[in-house]
Structure 1
């Protein structure tokens, strides 16, 4: 006898004592119920395709434009016709599909469906066959746009995860290249690949990064830049602790030095970590140049960064508080250029810096041809008009233009934006306290950098803590024979990259 209770205390739904319990996660063997459960779980979208194959009571369900039509017609539908009285095991063995699985759970079927699989259901069986034949739209391989170089490879990542991993395996042809995949995002279900080289990468760093990825509880993940910010050691810092790169050769160079890499499906930028502060200003092309030329390029780059950060604040501090540091021969033209300017130096500098950043942002957001025209014409017209109208001096215009030009020498796009951003508070402090304000800002930035870490590794390595052996490839680039060891910041299991002994000529 069955007795009805009014409500269940947990979910307040009518229940029956003695009634068989139904597991809503199990697939129904009846065709109509199975199709209806798929429709209900996916909210019956317009691109949900349901096909019947009458001879053997088969039902095919897939989402249009997510599966490869050629594979569907040639390897699935053609093989399933005219084969009555088959079982799921026979059907699975009949299909020549590389990735094919079975499941009795509705959750697994839906997850496979939205990832580009065809669900094959045989009437009377409570399991479904999942043939994975995804069709991923992606652009063709092209040269990197943000990390261009003259010498070296000229190919960059695109938005396809499988294509990006194949590019990486083209550089690192080794069975020690490990690839672990995770699913991130409750609604997006984006595939994230963690790559490292077994025998080189540190196990503790691998476990730390693996835990940070698996512990993410977010609704959506659409780009690798979002993932990098969420797994940073300090996401509140303006300085990035992980490198975003679109170059496979730079990505693989990091893996070979004991670093870890992350590739996100749908993103053309890959993540490399741990990353030190000094490495953001190094280019992969430095390894392709002779060490003398590479050293000159790096010194030029670091000089440009210092000019970009401190040139305009020094101008503001000198004109506001410290006239004695200005050479006497330079005082007359400087005073003449500022004779008609009604603003104090700090307001003048901030106004001109804002105009430069406005032109840069407008040029970046407009189409390429229009953006270049707006940047060049706008800079010339606005700069000339501002000087003639007495809004700014021509000397400051030169300093601000030189600072903006120097900021673009940074190989990392994100670090270049950081360099341009920190100029503004330094200019403000220089306008209030002169050179003392500049030193205060410098000390604050230095202390902040010393406190940062990247995946537990010191951010200012190898300068703090000091590691003399790792300084051979920092501000200067010594000959390759002196850089045979991997950087200590990654704690590599194998420290030797190659034999530093020179090759002896064969006298035979």
Structure 2
């Protein structure tokens, strides 16, 4: 028989459990004698709720006037969560997660009572995804809190929450979430299979899990959406997508997604449709400007002076008259400077980071122009490109756009407009090849699906938005009747 399997005598059981914890002083051991019966209790001191342990477990345990049986103990202790296990490793795993283990020496099973003491952050505003309109609450690191918020927002029996465990050495609890009547079964199976097949030591965070299960790990573009906003998560589920929550992570995972999904925001829904459409189109235009503006400057000054109006050419010549570097080196220098300021501002404390970003940008920009390292016009262009990249609601997509800008500048400096068009062509081909959970990444442009434009590129009035996106392949595409949604009656009409 395995040396860790129950039953065991008292000394062997204590020794086996202490070996599991490597003789840790945090493992608390209590031995009780009740009517001649020996009962041993184990728990980790800082992992259990002391008040709950004392009043709901110890007091009923000690008040019994006759020897306990396992069945009686489970029935009479006023704790909702209890189970039995039959091996020491299983007992130690439960204790680590905030349970108390009770064992009667010589029995085949031990009883586990769940009495965790969870230190968790309170619900607060989102830090990485700010909204002007709409709910301001964000997810936290507590899986139980996140599930509570999710159930509160999606108060329906149609919500399915599947429990998965991942990690060979350090296990993490993962929840697969979807609406049964909407989510495509193939999307659910793909998510479930990729998570179950992971053979890794641990999953540190939702973002790490996403990198493990995404379709192409070599692409700079994110293929699964990470968000800390419950309203965006619930909105995606209502469109037929599938979500994943990871314990101890404040962000959640959504898929399948398209490129255009990363430029959407739930704030687009909360404002009027024409304003939402304008802002969404502005984000797409900003992405293009961020990628192309600085490379066009480099290409024009290096190879294509004839494309610059004469009046502007004179200004450019005067601005660059003291700059000793070629345009490509000048542009790369300033882009790196902007990235250094951004990264330094993000790593410093909030107030210091904001001050450093503003003052550092002004001081360094002025000093660079006066020292002859760069021109005034390029500073304006680089600043516009940086601002344009910050309009993406997704931090990962904004970072991807900034990364793409560097090879585009190099191509523009090497081959001019031909290099820019070659870079854009390669970018389009790369995007056409990408998939998210096996679904096309460039939908609804490729494959072309005109009905999905409302859910990706523009936002029409709700009365006309009567169908869910086709590319997600939901079980039920119709949200509601288009004819009934457009009926307007006065109070005196029948």
* TM-score normalised over the length of structure 2: 0.97
Q: CA deviation at 1:32?
A: 1.5
Which whole-Å CA distance do the structure 2 matches of 1:105 and 1:498 have between them? 54
Q: CA deviation at 1:86?
A: 1.0
Show the 5 A alignment for 1:36-115. 36-55=15-34, 56-83=37-64, 84-115=66-97
Given that 1:472 and 1:482 are in contact with CA atoms closer than 8 Å, whether structure 2 keeps it comes out as: no
Which whole-Å CA distance do the structure 2 matches of 1:251 and 1:322 have between them? 47
Aligned to 1:13: none
Aligned to 1:326: 308
Aligned to 2:6: 27
Gaps of 5+ in 2: none
Number of residue pairs matched by the alignment:
487
Q: 1:287 aligns with which of 269, 272, 291?
A: 269
Q: CA deviation at 1:504?
A: 3.3
Is 1:250 the counterpart of 2:229? The answer is no
Which whole-Å CA distance do the structure 2 matches of 1:70 and 1:408 have between them? 48
Which whole-Å CA distance do the structure 1 matches of 2:220 and 2:462 have between them? 33
Aligned to 1:436: 418
Cα deviation, 1:414-443, whole Å, max 9, x if unaligned, reads 001001111000000000000111111101
Given that 2:102 and 2:111 are in contact with CA atoms closer than 8 Å, whether structure 1 keeps it comes out as: yes
Which whole-Å CA distance do the structure 1 matches of 2:49 and 2:111 have between them? 17
Which whole-Å CA distance do the structure 2 matches of 1:296 and 1:206 have between them? 34
Cα deviation, 1:424-478, whole Å, max 9, x if unaligned, reads 0000000000011111110111001000110111000011000111112322211
Structure 1 segments (4+ residues) deviating >3 Å: none
Show the 5 A alignment for 1:341-352. 341-352=323-334
Q: CA deviation at 1:29?
A: 3.0
Which whole-Å CA distance do the structure 2 matches of 1:295 and 1:255 have between them? 22
Which whole-Å CA distance do the structure 2 matches of 1:201 and 1:28 have between them? 46
Q: CA deviation at 1:185?
A: 1.1
Which whole-Å CA distance do the structure 2 matches of 1:291 and 1:460 have between them? 23
SS in 2 for 1:375: helix
Which whole-Å CA distance do the structure 1 matches of 2:82 and 2:325 have between them? 72
Which whole-Å CA distance do the structure 2 matches of 1:46 and 1:183 have between them? 28
SS in 2 for 1:57: strand
Show the 5 A alignment for 1:87-236. 87-236=69-218
Q: CA deviation at 1:105?
A: 2.1
Aligned to 2:407: 425
Q: CA deviation at 1:123?
A: 2.4
Which whole-Å CA distance do the structure 2 matches of 1:338 and 1:239 have between them? 35
Which whole-Å CA distance do the structure 1 matches of 2:443 and 2:47 have between them? 46
Given that 2:468 and 2:477 are in contact with CA atoms closer than 8 Å, whether structure 1 keeps it comes out as: yes
Aligned to 1:18: none
Which whole-Å CA distance do the structure 2 matches of 1:132 and 1:322 have between them? 72
Structure 1, 468-477 or 334-343: larger mean CA deviation: 468-477
Q: CA deviation at 1:503?
A: 3.3
